[in-house]
Every structure is written in structure tokens, then in C-alpha cells.
Structure 1
Amino acid sequence: MRVIALTLLMVAGTVNYLDRSALSIGNAAIRADLHLSDAQMGLLLSVFAVAYGVAQLPVGILVDRFGPRRVLGLSLVLWSLAQGTASFSSTLRQFVVARAALGIGESPMYLAGTKVCSNWFARAERAWPIGLFNASSALGPAIAPGILTILLLHYGWRSMFLIIGAAGLVVAVLWPLLYRDPEQYGISEAERAAIHAGDDDTPDHGGWTVLLRQPTSWGMAFGFLGVIYMTWLYGTWLPDYLERARHLSVAAAGIWTSVPQACGFLGALLSGLVARWLARFGVQPLAACKLPLIAGMLVTAACTASAALVHSVPAAIALVSLALFSASLASSCGWSMASVATSPQRVATLEAIQNIGGSVGAGLAPVITGEMVQLTGSFTPALLFASGIAVLSALIYAVFVREPVRVPS
């Protein structure tokens, strides 16, 4: 069941990011078809993140209460239908509604995935499976440019949206058909005790309001804002950046966009192994996630600033690749952090709090970048600003995330 669960989560997460990436890959075609400005496109790119963030806390509570099998199964259907519906949009308003529905539908994906790992893996082992399934958040963008560019050039952006929406419906059938929560699967009490050895089993008095009184919760939320700001900066604007700032064709931009995203996939895969390696050397689980996260954000900041200033196209692509490698490593460590910072019965709620901050970053990155590009005619100020955000994120984690969340009995 562990193998089945991780395989399905990887597939669902990859489709999830194919859906998200469709708008950025089709950026130029959609902007021309709907007659949108850079600022309007930045707004459209941000709508998903705003809806995603608003849904986080209620969805996290639902995942903790009803389990990931039911909640993720329903969300797969909703987001796939929303993606298909977007293909019929003829105005900015219609597209905004479809993207908002996509954000709400996709909001349980990684909360449910972390809950699955918390239910099926022991505390010291969770960073690896969480890093593995979270790598789908980088695998999707890595394979999206090639797949979606082919669909875009051969069939147009509307058919591209329909096809990947249909792919999501296939996964929506497979998830409830093949996956079972531990209670439904019938694991023994001894197995369950082994999985949850070392977990905080304090009764949940006060619910999510108690979590909000913990400095660690706020540090994770504001720190993750910077992490996701960086991944969404590249996730939403990289193809357009390569076309306009580096003067590549649509086809070439589609190909070269996949290189940094592939490096992001490798960074996400490596994160779980790094945390596991640190834990074996006696580093506490929370610190084993926190230390590589901070290092990753500092490297991301340095590479992003350097990419803004170099003149060579290969050098810029190499620097962006290293930036996304480091940002994806940091992102996966952030997702793993919640699983060791609190008990399994509260993990989805804590991750929802963290991901509200991440969703703010995801909402700000496209809008701020679009506004800066429109005002200055250049991507350089936007990249330098993002570098500062990455440094601030690392500082927040260093100062505020020092100990696991403690819920009083």
C-alpha cells in the first residue's frame, strides 16, 4: 500500500502541475487571443494562488477529519473539470472563475499527500516519502514545457486545456479505486504503534487556534511565503522571460524551460535524502528539514540575482537551473517539516497554515513580476526583488522555527 500510495501521489501531483503550468506555457497565445496586458496576465496567473490559499485551512481541517482518500478523490474531479472548463473562456472574467475553481480543487493535493505519509511512515522516515511525492511538484513543471508546447503548437491552447483536464479525470478514478487509509486497510495495532512511535499524541484541545499561538507556525507560514514566491516566479514567468528577455522562439523557450524545471525535480528528490542523512547523524528531525531549507534559499537568492545581471543566455539558463534546484529542495523540506513539527492528527491543519503563507507568495509573484515588467520594460528589477524575498525567507526560518509545535493537553 505504501508503494501504491506514493505512485498514485506522484502521478496525481504531476498532473496537478501540468494543469497549473498550462497557463504559463500558453501565456503568449492566451494573452493575444483574449487581448490581455502584462498586468492582466499577471492577475490571471495569480488568481489560482489566491483561491488555493483561501481554501487551505478549511481543506486541511477536512483532510484531518475525513482522511485523504475521500477528500483527495473529490478534489481530483473538481480540479479536472475546472481545467477543462477554462478551455471555453472567451473573456478575462470567465477565465478568472475557472482558475479560481482550479485553485480550490487542487488545494487538498499536498496536504492529503503529507497526511498519507504521516499515516503510513514512522516519524524519522517521513522526510524521504514526502520529498519523493513532493518531487512531483517539480516533475510536472519539468515535463510540462515539452508536452504542453507540442499540444499548444499542434492543437491550440484550448485543446491543450481539455486534454490535460481529461488526464486528471483518469487519476480521479484510480485514486479511490486503489488507495486505502490505514484504518480501511486493516494494519495491526503493533504496526500502527511502530508507525506512530515518537509522535506527539496529545489530545487536540483548541484545534487550529492553538497552532496559531505557536511561533513555529508563524515562522513556517511567513518563511514558506518566500519559498513559494521563488518557485512561482519561475513557474509562471520563465517561458515568457526566455522569449522576451533572452529572445528565444516559442519552441526554443518551451524546450529550455524544461531544463531548469528538471533541475528543480532533482532538488526535490534530493531533499528527502539530505534530511534522512542528517537524521542518521543525530540531527533532530525538525533541524534536518530546516538546515537544508535555509541553505537552499540562500543559494536561490544568489543565483537569481546573478541570472538577472549576466548577458550570456547559457549562463542565465544555468543560473536559473541552480536557483530552481535549490528552491525545490527548500520547498520539499518545507513540506516535510510539518510532518515532524506536530502529530499526524494535526499535520494537515499545520500544513494548511504554512501553505496559506505559501499561497500568498504564489499570488504575489506573478502580479509583482507582471507589474514590474510593465513599468520598467525589463525582468531585471523583478528578479533582484525576488532575491531579496528569498534571503528574508531564510532569515525567518532561522529565527522563528526552532522547536516543534507543542499543543497543551
Structure 2
Amino acid sequence: MMSGIEQATPRLKLIQRVALTMLVVAGVVNYIDRATLAVANPLIREELGLSIADMGYLLSAFLWAYAFAQLPTGAMVDRLGPRILLTLGLSLWSLAQLLGGLVQSFGQFFGARVLLGLGEAPQFPTGARVVRDWFNQRDRGLATGIFNCASSLGTAIAVPLLTFLMLTFGWRAMFVIMGVAGLIVAAVWYLLYRNPHELALTQQENRYRTQGDPPGQRTKVTFREWKLLFRFRTTWGMVFGYFGCIYLTWIYTAWLPGYLEIERHMSVKYTGWAAAVPFACGVVGGVFGGYIADMLVRRGVAPLKSRSYPAAIALLGTAACTVAAAYVSSNALAIAFISLSLFLVYVTSTCAWALSSVAVPTNCTASIGAVQNFGGYLGGALAPTVTGLIAQKTGSFVPALVVGALIGVVSAGCYLFAVDRPITASDMDAMSDPQMHPLEVGASPTE
């Protein structure tokens, strides 16, 4: 148990509330913007004369751009700060969204989707850095859960909201409206948010922010330090662990309505509501994962293990529930198991992002989060394609769900056995020795 715990001052509490509120709003806009193409799919294909294969390329363009943009983006967040990077990211993805309403060809649309992926890349690494900057170690889990729940909340809101906008104003206006909304959020973030060094903080406020962190923390990441992250087992455990988390998430994100209609023979009208329930459960799971992480830290569990163990256990539960959903005959039971799957996979997601704030030195927080997210979205980019190919080959979604569950089990093992020690600044200094073998340096035995 921690002793002599500093408490957040009223000013810090206000900063925390404002920052988390804006992160949730930006995250919801982020996920709504991802869904615009899927919602307007039939109308876009008809107007632009695109094939189903063309739409597949457009859908995947975002995912691949988003995944590979993670690698430099995290380091940029750590280098330039959340205020600048999220403002730039929001502005870029909102302009890309706006351009989506003006395109006249496949090539133009493809470019807009790539820009959307590039622009959205800073969102979650920024959230990880904001939580590290403004919250004490014992409070970071719940704060991470709050900003991370925007992903499932945005997904749950997206279909009904975008359908309303599309039917009321047309699909092009839907893109433009969301683009303008994002630009407004970017302006608000820039005007209201400040990085810690931009404010005159008191000694008590700085003690609260840094209590429990290793001493001698640097403020900005260097390219050498960013490269060194890839020489640690913990980094690769986080990458491969998150791969399974996002692979399973995107099976449901991309295929849940289709699965319910094709495999479960549900009507389109019923499917819309049935598909929204599991993602609403994901919102609760995201916050609950953060609560669990904080509770374990307050009970004396090492910060790293307070994240990695719940992430692994929840991912194993997701795998089990995914298999159960595949094999039960009752549609109601299937929805129940899918809802539990999404509840648990968002527990894993929150714990994974909370790992970013305790697994590495402060100046590498967004960098490790983005590297982890890169691994996750390689899984996210593969999941829709692999699931579709397996379902087409076998005539059933059951084998595809089982494959996803197996990937989840392997990824859970990565959290249990590879993410075993935090990376300290002294570890990184030692690893910079050219005589040191990769993955040879362990972190300090105490956490």
C-alpha cells in the first residue's frame, strides 16, 4: 500500500475533468468518422460506380494507413506534446472526412481514406500521454478506461447517427457535417488544453503527478530511445498481446451485422439494435478495466502486473465467449456471449493502454502506446479480410470465430509471459551499449 499519498488539488481535478471530457468527445468523433464509409456503402457504390472489391480496398485503406502511422506518431506526441499533435491530427482527419463528401472518383476517395487514417493516428497515444502527465499512478487506470471507452461509445452511436444524417441530408452532406464537427473539436482542444510545462504548477501538484514514478524522468523522447524500445521483450509482448485484442475487436466491428444476418438469419431491422447492445457493453468494460487496474495498484500489486494480468485474463475470457457464441443455437444466447466478449475485450484494451503509463519511462509513454497500437491494428487490418475469406471458403462464420479465439489465447500468453518487467531509463541506457545482445537487459527486479 502507498503511504504519504498526495491528493490532486482542485485545479488539477478541473484540468483532469476537462482533458478527459475532450478526449472522449474527440474519440467518439474519431470512431464515428471511421464508420461513415460503411454506413454509406450502397449509396457510394451506386453513385460512383464502384464494385464490392473497390469498397473493400477503400475500407482497408484507412486501417493500413492508421496502423503504419502509429510508428512515428507516438514519438511525435512525446516530442511535441498532446496539445499540438491532437490538434493537428483532428484537423487532418476532419479535413479528410470533409473531402470525402466532395470526391468524384475511386482514386480521390482512396486518398481521403488514407488521410483519415494518418490523421486519426495521434488520438489514443495522445490519451495515454495526457493520463501519464496529469494523473497519479494509482489513478491512471480509471482515467485510461474513461478515454478508451470512446471507441466503443463512438461505435455504438455511429450507425444510428450517421444513418439519420444520411437519410436527412444525403451521404455527401453527412461526410461534410462530420468534418466540420471535427474541426470545431480541434479548435476547442487547442484553446483549452495545456501541457504541464505550459502551466505554473505548485510543488504539491507536481508531487501528485509524479509520485510513484521512477526518479530522473526525462521529458522528451529521442530517436535513439524510440529505437531501443524494440530491443525489449516487454515491448514485443505488448505488441503481440494487443494484436489479438484488436483482431477480435475488428471481427465484431466489421462483421457483427453481417454475421447476425447471414449466420443467424436475423432481419436487418432487428440486427441494427442487436448489434448495438454488445458495443454498449464494451463501454462499460472499458471503464471497468481501468477501475480494476487502479484497485489492484491500491492493494499493493505491482503497477505493471495490475495491467498485464487483467488484460490476459479478460482476453482469455473473450476467446471463450467467442467460441461459445459461435456454437450456441439460440440467437439470444449468442448476443449475450457476444456482449460479454466485447465487455471483456474492452477490459483488455483499457489495461493495454494503461500499461503504456507504467511500462516505460515518462518520455516514452506515447511512443510505446503507439507501437503497441501498430501491432493491434495489423490485427485489425487482417481480421475483416481473414474472417471474410474463411466464411466464404467454409460457408460458415464458425471457423472464423474459432480462429479469432485461438489468436486471442496466444496473445493472452504474451501478456502473461512476455510483459513481465517495466523498462526503466537505466535499462535503455544499458541497452544502448553495442555489446549488449537484444532482449538481454532485464528491468530492475523490483517494480
Q: TM-score range by the shorter chain?
A: over 0.9
Match of 2:147 in 1: 133
Shift of 1:2: 1.3
Conserved? CA contact 2:315–2:348, under 8 Å: yes
Name the aligned partner's letter for residue 167 of structure 1: A
Please name the residue that 1:257 is paired with.
Answer: 275
Other-structure match for 1:170: 184
- Structure 1 partner of 2:198: 184
1:42 Cα shift? 4.1
More off after superposition, 342-351 vs 181-190: 181-190
1:365 matched to 2:383? The reply is yes
Q: For 2:98 and 2:270, how far apart are their aligned partners in 1?
A: 27
Residue 36 of structure 1: aligned partner: 51
- The reply on whether 1:310 has 2:324 as its aligned counterpart is no
Residues 377 and 157 (structure 1), Cα distance of their counterparts in 2 relative to 1, 3 Å cut: farther
| Alpha-carbon contact 2:361-2:425 (below 8 Å) kept | no
Residue 370 (structure 2) aligns with: 352
| 1:69 lines up with 2:86 in the alignment | no
Select which of 200, 211, 218 maps to 1:197: 211
Q: Post-superposition shift, 1:106?
A: 0.4
What one-letter code is carried by the residue in structure 2 that aligns with 1:36? S
1:106 maps to what in 2? 120
Taking the aligned partners of 2:261 and 2:106, their CA distance within structure 1 comes to 23
Structure 1 residue 407 corresponds to structure 2 residue 407: no
TM-score, length-normalised on structure 1? 0.94
Counterpart of 1:224 in structure 2 is 242
Residues 49 and 239 (structure 1), Cα distance of their counterparts in 2 relative to 1, 3 Å cut: same
C-alpha displacement of 1:260 = 0.6
Deviation at 1:64, TM superposition (A): 0.7
Counterpart residue type for residue 300 of structure 2: G
Q: 1:28 to 1:256 in 2, by over 3 A?
A: farther
Q: Which residue is 2:36 aligned to?
A: 22
Partner of 1:343: 361
- Tell me, yes or no, if the aligned pair for 2:77 and 2:366 is still in contact at 8 Å: yes
Larger Rg: 2
CA 1:313–1:155: 2 relative to 1, 3 Å: farther
What amino acid does structure 2 have at the position aligned with 1:207?
E
Question: What is the root-mean-square deviation in Å for CA atoms of aligned residues?
Answer: 2.0
Q: Distance in 1 between matches of 2:217 and 2:81?
A: 19
Give the counterpart letter for 1:375 in structure 2. K
Q: Structure 1 residues 25, 346: CA separation in 2 closer, same or farther (over 3 Å shift)? A: same
Task: Determine if contact 2:217/2:362 at 8 Å carries over to the other structure.
Answer: no
Q: Is 2:248–2:408's contact at 8 Å kept on the other side of the alignment?
A: yes
Q: Contact 1:21–1:235 (CA<8 Å) still a contact in 2?
A: no
CA distance in 2, matches of 1:383, 1:129: 31
The structure, 1 or 2, with the larger RCO (C-alpha pairs under 8 Å, 6+ apart) is: 1
Whole-angstrom CA distance in 2 between matches of 1:253 and 1:31: 22
State the partner residue of 1:271: 289
Would the alpha carbon gap of residues 296 and 41 (structure 1) be closer, same or farther in structure 2, given more than 3 Å must change?
Answer: farther
Greater mean deviation of Cα atoms: 165-174 or 182-191: 182-191
Check 1:177–1:152 CA distance in 2 against 1; reply closer, same or farther (3 A cut): same
Q: Distance in 1 between matches of 2:274 and 2:104?
A: 30
> Does residue 1:334 correspond to 2:352, yes or no?
yes
Give the alignment partner of residue 68 of structure 2, picking from 38, 54, 59: 54
The answer on whether the counterparts of 1:42 and 1:366 sit within 8 Å (CA) in structure 2 is no
Q: Is 1:380 matched up with 2:398?
A: yes
- Give unmatched runs, 5+ long, in structure 2: 1-14, 430-447
Deviation at 1:153, TM superposition (A): 4.0
What letter is aligned with 2:130? Answer: V
- Report the CA distance between 1:103 and its aligned residue: 0.7
One-letter code aligned to 1:135: C
Is the 1:300–1:323 Cα contact (8 Å) retained in structure 2?
yes
1:320 to 309, 333, 338: 338
Q: Distance in 2 between matches of 1:4 and 1:198?
A: 24
2:257 equivalent in structure 1: 239
Judging changes above 3 Å, is the alpha-carbon distance between structure 1 residues 96 and 377 closer, same or farther for their aligned structure 2 residues?
A: farther
- Would the alpha carbon gap of residues 266 and 160 (structure 1) be closer, same or farther in structure 2, given more than 3 Å must change? same
Identity %, equivalent residues: 45
For these two proteins, the number of residue pairs brought into alignment is: 408
The runs of at least 4 aligned residues of structure 1 exceeding 6 Å deviation read none
Amino acid at match of 1:296: A
1: CA distance between counterparts of 2:336 and 2:55? 27
CA separation in 2, counterparts of 1:155 and 1:254?
21
- Contact 2:309–2:415, Cα closer than 8 Å, also in 1: no
Structure 1: any 5+ residue segments left out of the alignment? none
